[in-house]
Chains A and B, each alone.
Chain A
């Protein structure tokens, strides 16, 4: 349940440069308790720099970052967020339990509290039966879950995850998002950077698209589509040779071999397709589909290769 009464994290015109190159150009953002925010952008867009700023690893050159733990939050009252790095940032030659112990202690959790928290976290991450295994002997999915578990022992109000599902199988991915869901239910705000479009589309409550250090779009997928592409569905007709007929509602290309029609609602589709019966030649290909995040992403960031 997202509590939009007051943000738990607020970024206000944050700027950061590395060796004269601006990585963040005035990022402003709010994150609310219980919200899962997908942070999305091409390589080198500034995602990692922003996460490092939020995590307190680097100080921004300008702007403000505020972390405010809401009253009544059941977890840690510390203002530091939990950080889950992109790589498996655990000690491979320690057992699962030992990793949880050392990272719990580093997060300031008392030994006594850790004795309670570690079994809970092991259950939460479905790692209880591998508690005494060395981390390096775990599967990729298990290592990912351990990677996340090490950052939630102190129950942070904000959890930052950098590509948490890279290289894991669908089952583990499901489990990881189930873990995120549970965190959300406890009021934890979760910020994820990922390139997995499907995950952002289906799992995140809100999407932020960043490019060249600037937020280029923000909101739910429908909002983004509307802002970047207009209508959410499209019909594309392709012809073997130039069409001389008029196609109402369609936009023809210069060669008149392709026509595109955008729809606000799929219920409009039968009416649009009805014009095909009046054409002098049948289309060689008909493509009907709804826009997704990839379309939004390409529309916002362009098709040129990045870093």
Chain B
């Protein structure tokens, strides 16, 4: 008997292509989608470089050196932003940064001030450190970690080289330790270091942990100060600044990768190079130390991480989650509602209605309106709840929300009715809806944030409603763009709603034929 029951199940499965699709094809399809996303998107730090926009109003020597160092990093793809009008204008830089942010073409933007000079002398002259701004929209925490680590490494290395130069200067003043004239200690990263000698180089004899940067006097006992080469410098940096390197490898274990950094704090100077922190804690106790401190510039650079989207908001990303989940369930709810057409057709209720005063156009129009209003209501309930419980500032973004809710519901209603019109039975609709909606949601960003996807996946996602809807909601709740900036999303969603309505009308003739 059990074999007979087993055979029944097998036969039913074999005779139902949709069931086969759900059982065998759907998992493979989903695996492929997620594999594409995870292998080419989320692993952006290894395979996909961070897209860094450079807002450089003036090509000073310090700026060139910094940008050259950034460009050397394989994990960073640098693009200089075009500045409109006069280069030396704060306004043109601000505009360029805003344009770059709105374009979503960059993970981060590095903004240098006018007359950028990161030397200690400049800091001493102006009485404040040079300020480097790292502007993020809070989406890609990995990019923030990579770029700030790179910056910290650059300044740590430069700091080390400055220290070495000071050391060399001290040594050269000492008759016992005068280095040979061929010794070269590089002052800046941009200048090539001398080729390492074949002989193994001794380590600089330093304690493994330093409460503060070693002073030249402390490292007098080095064996061959005249051969302080790059290899040694690297070792010294490792000893000197372990937190910086650690951060490069493990950006932020506690941070939510999808969360905007500094979400509760608009700006921060926590990215100040660690070496500067050491120096600020150190108490120079000798003239030599004081000279070295001055030369190296204790607070000569300040890296400021700015997240304009986080300004004054408690939970901007919750709105994205609300949108993602809402759109996913909206698609399911709308399709389920549209499926009543199939129920009515199967029961003969549709025939009864078609034989009454109501024409097919009125029936479809009524159905569309019902699904549309239900969709608007569903989105409203979701966002009101998110606002009350998680504080997504719905009231502040009410205009944008209404626009996006209406457009999303319109498109979703059209999609649901078209799908119901094309399907022959409720079972067929359920299976087709599951395949299509889950696929659209996976590539469209309802399941995995779009910003972790590769460009190709993002482009692919644009064939789904989810992507356009989520991009729109993101603009509203995250970027707070003006309503006019939503025109692309509005046009696509309403356009597709219109196209699908026309297709529904074309294919709906079968309802009247009863097939």
Chain A residues in the interface with B (C-beta under 8 A): 18, 48, 52, 55-58, 80-91, 103, 106-108, 150-151, 162
Contacts and interface: CB of A to CB of B under 8 A. Distances in A.
B354 interface: yes
Contacts of B514: 48, 52, 57-58
A91 B349 CA distance: 8
Nearest to B357: A108
| Residue with the greatest number of chain A CB neighbours at <10 A, chosen from B351, B352, B358, B515 | B352
Given A57-B512, A58-B512, A58-B514, A88 B355 contact: no
B349 A90 contact: yes
B349 A80 contact: no
Contacts of B356: 80, 103, 106-108
Contacts of B512: 57-58
Given A57-B514, A58-B512, A106-B358, A86 B353 contact: no
B72 interface: no
B176 interface: no
Interface in B347-376: 347-349, 351-358
B355 A89 contact: no
Given A18-B515, A57-B351, A106-B356, 4 more contacts: A52-B514, A57-B355, A82-B355, A85-B352
21 contacts: A18-B513, A57-B351, A57-B354, A57-B512, A57-B513, A58-B512, A80-B356, A82-B355, A84-B352, A85-B348, A86-B348, A87-B346, A87-B348, A89-B351, A89-B352, A91-B349, A103-B352, A106-B353, A106-B357, A106-B358, A162-B348
A83 B355 contact: yes
Contacts of A90: 349
Contacts, number: 58
Contacts of A52: 351, 514
The number of chain B residues touching the other chain, given as a range, is 10 to 19
B513 A58 contact: yes
Max chain B CB contacts within 10 Å: which of A18, A87, A103, A106?
A: A106
Contacts of A81: 355
A85 B351 contact: yes
Contacts of B348: 85-89, 162
A86 B348 CA distance: 7
Contacts of B513: 18, 57-58
Contacts of B349: 85, 89-91
A88 B347 CA distance: 6
A103 B350 CA distance: 11
Contact of B352 (A48, A83, A108): A83
A107 B357 contact: yes
A151 B357 contact: no
Interface in B258-304: none
A86 B347 CA distance: 8
B351 A83 contact: yes
